[in-house]
Amino acid sequence: MEIIITLAFLAAALIAVFIGLAPWRNVARYESPQPDAPTDVDSGDDFDAAPGRRPDTTCDSPADAGLPKVSVVAFVLRDEENLTPYVDMLLGQNYPDYEVILVCDASAEATAMLSEKFEDTPNLKLTFIPPGSHNLSRRKLAQTLGIKRAEGEVVVTTSTSVMPRSEEWLRALVGQMADPEVDVVCGYVHPEFDDYRGMWKWYRQFDATLTAAQWMDAAIKGNPYRGDGYNLAFRRRLFFEAKGYSSTLTLMDGDDDIFIHEICAPGHGRLALSPDSTVDTRWGEDANRIHNDLKDRYRFTRRWLPKLPFLRAGMLSAIQWLMLIQFLAALTGIAMLIVHLLPGVFGEASAAITRMLTATFPPVGNELTAFTDTISMRLLSLIICNLLIPICTWGAEILTYRALARRLGSIRLFIAVVPFMLLRPLRNFMFALRHYPTRKSHFTWVRS
């Protein structure tokens, strides 16, 4: 009977792990649909013809049929001298019909200087955030100003703090929106993980990878509850139907999670995950601080988001500790067998341990008490089963994580996956305690 119960528990544990690992597995295997490149574009000469000019694509190409006009709203965070390469990359996109709107967090004079610099650049608009704007999220204000100036059917929000990998970025991100049923497409922002510093740098990569897999899995299923506001596409009409960011007006954040969850009807979201659709960001010496800021930001806003993804992640974390207890119990059982096999060596220790086990775990204690000169095959089978459960669980986690890390460009850990999974709920709890006093800073009325 004990063996049957143990095998049933093994099956239940593996099923729970299979469900808990589903987001990792889905993201690792996901291939986003790739729109075909137009066939009537010259062989790349147009990309180098002139900085700030986009390739000579044509809307008559079959590959361009149905692609919506796009307005790229970029929040300008870099200084003027570093802005030109970024603008050249945006305006050099291989996409038939789009415009770029730069929203500068600067004075009118600085914006005028930028306007003069790019005055001969077609399809480029500039605006700025008034310096006197207080008690508002400047990021959401910038996006609101840009969207109001936009003319495209689809809005792509991004920032000068990220850089597209190729001239196919816009096509790879927005291509799925040729389907009128698709309202939101979430893209991936790949941080430069080598910027992390300190003894916990590998853990931060691990944590960021699992967090990304969680929201990506929801987007794959068509129900995104979060994206990244620096690589995000949605239909412009949805912004006005939702009255912009009015529901999160008192929050500093929420533009790429609460807002997305509000505007995207079930089944109308998608994930864009390919080298071309990905943008890169460098955090430099501030990598650890920015990682913590993002973690704190998303920890705060998740109270307004669906609970199921977080419950599933919590279930997987709880299983880790059950597996550890089971593994230690199996090792204890092996030690007890050795003690009973060598009574002349262990003597009184064997008797004391047997009495303790009989009082604490009667089935095991009774089994050891009845143990004579032959090995109890039933007890040995129980020990083997209790070893197999955590070993199979941890093995599945390691293999699945390595596939996920390869897909998202993160560090491909091996043995460290197990202790990191055990530590994650504890570190999350300590992180929440440490940042509890700063919770009010997420409200706009706290900041001036």
* % the chain with pLDDT above 70: 79
Summarised one tens digit per residue, pLDDT across range 188-203 is: 999 999 899 998 999 9
Pairing of strands 98-104, 124-128: parallel
Residues 306-320 pLDDT 10s: 999 999 998 898 889
Q: Which residues contact 369 (CB under 8 A, 6 or more apart)?
A: 354, 358
What three-state secondary structure class fits 156?
Answer: strand
Name the percent of the chain lying above pLDDT 90. 54
Residue 210 and residue 219: Cα distance in Å, rounded?
A: 15
HSE value, Cβ hemisphere, 13 Å, CA-based, for 185: 29
Rounded to whole angstroms, the Cα distance separating 421 from 401 reads 11
Q: Distance between CA atoms of 315 and 309, rounded to whole angstroms? A: 10
How buried is residue 39: exposed, middle or buried, by Cβ count under 10 Å (0-12/13-18/19+)?
exposed
Which neighbouring-strand residues pair with 270? 185
- The single-letter code of the amino acid at 407 is R
Sheet with 162-164, edge to edge strand ranges: 162-164, 279-281, 189-191
How far does Cα 144 stand from its chain's mean position? 25
User: Which backbone phi and psi does 271 adopt, to 5 degrees?
Assistant: -115, 135
Least confident span in 79-83, 127-131, 250-254, 412-416:
79-83
State the first-to-last Cα distance of the chain, in angstroms, to the nearest integer: 67
Arithmetic mean of pLDDT, 330-356 = 66
59 confidence band (pLDDT: 50, 70, 90): very low
Residue 40 has pLDDT above 70, yes or no: no
pLDDT of residue 373: 42
Per-residue confidence (pLDDT) for residue 32, from 0 to 100: 82
**Which residue type is seen at 264?**
C
Could you tell me the pLDDT band of residue 389, with boundaries at 50, 70 and 90? confident
Q: Are 179 and 187 in contact (CB under 8 A)?
A: no
Q: Which residues contact 337 (CB under 8 A, 6 or more apart)?
A: 375, 379, 380, 383
Separation CA 90–CA 94 (nearest Å): 10
| All structural domains of the chain with their residue ranges | 2-23+311-439, 32-306
| pTM, entire model | 0.84
Residue 365: name the closest of 379, 349, 386 by CA. Answer: 379
Q: What is the average pLDDT across 100-128?
A: 81
- pLDDT category at 28 given cuts 50, 70, 90 is very high
Nearest to 364 by CA among 7, 2, 8, 6: 2
* Residue 70: its H or E element: strand 70-76
CB 22 within 8 A of CB 160: no
Closest CA to 183 of 102, 275, 262: 262
Predicted confidence (pLDDT) at residue 295 exceeds the cutoff of 90 = yes
Helices (H), 221-342: 236-241, 258-263, 287-301, 308-341
The three-state (H, E, C) secondary structure of 200-248, written as one string = CHHHHHHHHHHHHHHHHHHHHCCCCCCCCCCCEEEEHHHHHHCCCCHHH
DSSP annotation of 301: H
The CATH number for 32-306, chosen from 2.40.10.220, 3.10.620.30, 3.90.550.10, 3.40.190.10, is 3.90.550.10
Per-residue pLDDT, 25: 95
Predicted local distance difference test score (pLDDT) of residue 353: 59
Binned at pLDDT 50, 70 and 90, residue 44 comes out as very low
Q: Assign 94 a pLDDT band (cuts: 50, 70, 90).
A: very high
Mean pLDDT of 334-348: 63
Q: Which two tokens stand for residue 245?
A: 């960011």
Task: Check residue 401 and give its pLDDT.
Answer: 97
Instruction: For 132-182, write each residue's pLDDT tens digit.
Output: 666 678 889 999 999 999 999 999 999 999 999 999 999 999 999 999 999
Q: Mean pLDDT over residues 113-128, rounded?
A: 82
Q: Is pLDDT above 70 for 445? A: yes
Structure tokens at 413: 């850990």
The phi and psi torsions of 150 (rounded to 5 degrees) equal -70, 150
Q: What one-character DSSP code corresponds to residue 290?
A: H
CA distance 78 to 371: 74
What is the rounded average pLDDT for all residues in the chain?
A: 83
What DSSP assignment string belongs to 381-400? HHHHHHHHHHHHHHHHHHHH
pLDDT of residue 43: 37
What b/e readout covers 155-175, taking b as 16+ CB neighbours within 10 angstroms?
Answer: bbbbbbbbbbbbbbbbbbbbb
Higher pLDDT, 365 or 232: 232
208-259 residue pLDDT tens: 999 999 999 999 999 999 999 999 999 999 999 999 999 998 999 999 999 9
Mean pLDDT in residue range 393-421: 95
Per-residue pLDDT, 8: 76
